[in-house]
Structure formats: structure tokens, C-alpha cells
Amino acid sequence: MFSLASCHATGNLRLSTVSADYLRAERQRIHNATYNTKIDFYKKHFSGLLLFKAVNDTNNRVVFVTETGFKLFDFEFTPHSFNIQYCLPPLRKKLILDVFKNDLGQLIQTDTVSPVYINQKDSLITFTFARENNKYEDYIVDSKSGQLTAIERGGKCVKQVSTKIVGINKGNFDEISIRHHALKLHIYLKQIER
């Protein structure tokens, strides 16, 4: 099942009229945090720890370690590249790597371009960014809490990937749920106190 988003803007805003607080919220990202993680892919289940580490102001590492201490992957994200430090051979397929690159990248990398659309509906402000191949990413900010609450990825009207974000804890997202509607893939993260 696909989630539908309106193809027509309601309450269009200009970037210059949007509060700096909402712009900061749209740019919220994970810096240094550890998450208890569950990944369900069709009938396969993985669980363990997902570690996010800011190497410097622009580069980030993301490592997934199973509950038994087995490392599945170690990725490095820079503003212009995605580098595989380590990846278990069965996971080294283009489709799987693209999923990790997009899903994890959206949580740690901020945009350097301006959104093509900014819309407000009720208390939600949506920042829409154009991507390659006629794809779009919507970053949704709750104007009441000033927090990024969702990211939707896909075409202009139909979104294939939905990311829900609940709460902020020590400057990082507290809970994250990423669903790929067509792939039967669900990734759930809950921040662990350090």
C-alpha cells in the first residue's frame, strides 16, 4: 500500500517568510547516538545496535552490529559520497546498498539546496526537495513543537518510503520508524541512553 500526498500545494510559503525555527527543525539530524534497532525484511528479522558517529562537521559513520556482536555494515557518509568501509557480502547488492544509503543518509545529512516547495497545512509545514529521476523528499515539521516529524520519499504524488520521527532526546531523534511500502521493509530505531 502506498501513502498518498497531495499533488497540489495548499498554503504555499516563500522561504523568506518561514520562521528560522522551522528551518532549523527541517535541518535536524542525528549526530552521535546509539539506537536499539529492528529490521524486518519480508520474513527475515535482524536486531542489534545502530551507531551514528559524527567524524567531523561534514562526515559521518554508521555501523550496525547484531545482538551477538557481529558487524553487518559500516558506512561513511560525506557531503558528496557514500563509502562502504565494510559490508557483509550478501548485503552488497545495489538495491540493498541504495536503501541503506537513502534511509540512513536522510537521518544524518542536511540539504545544501533550497526546497522547491514549502507548504503549510494546519500545523504542519512541508519542505519539498527535488531529487534525481523525478523523485521528491518531503521533510515535515510540526509548527507547534518545532520538530521534524516525518520524511516522505518517492514521486510527486505517491510516496514509497515513509519515515516517522517521535521526540528529541539529547539533540537526536528519540524514535524512528522507516517503512518501504513496496519492499515490505520496516526499520525501527529507539535511542539508547549512554
Residue boundaries of the structural domains of the chain: 3-191
**Rounded percentage of the chain residues whose pLDDT exceeds 70:** 86
Give how far the C-alpha of residue 133 lies from the chain's centroid of Cα atoms, to the nearest Å.
19
- Which positions ≥6 away from 122 have C-beta within 8 Å? none
For cell 529492528, what's the residue? 38
| Range 14-42 average pLDDT | 76
Statement: residue 3 has pLDDT above 80: no
Residue 79 near residue 63 (C-beta atoms within 8 A):
no
The string of pLDDT tens digits covering residues 125-172 is 898 888 887 888 899 999 888 889 999 998 877 889 999 999 988 888
Q: Could you give phi then psi for residue 44, rounded to 5 degrees?
A: -100, 145
What is the third-level CATH fold of 3-191? outer membrane lipoprotein receptor (LolB), chain A (2.50.20)
CA–CA gap between residue 90 and residue 162 (Å, rounded) = 25
Q: Which residues in 63-74 are b (16+ Cβ under 10 Å) and which e?
A: bbbeeeeeebbb
| Displacement of CA 46 from its chain's centroid (Å) | 19
Q: How far apart are CA 143 and CA 25, in angstroms?
A: 9
Per-residue pLDDT reduced to its tens digit, 29-64:
888 999 999 999 888 888 999 999 999 888 999 999
Instruction: Please answer whether residues 177 and 167 qualify as being in contact, where contact means their C-beta atoms are separated by less than 8 angstroms.
Output: no
pLDDT of 116 higher than 90:
no
Specify the residue for cell string 504542519. Answer: 124
Pairing mode of beta strands 81-87, 147-154 = unpaired
Residues 6+ apart with CB under 8 A from 194: 34
pLDDT of res. 25: 61
The pLDDT of residue 174 is above 90: yes
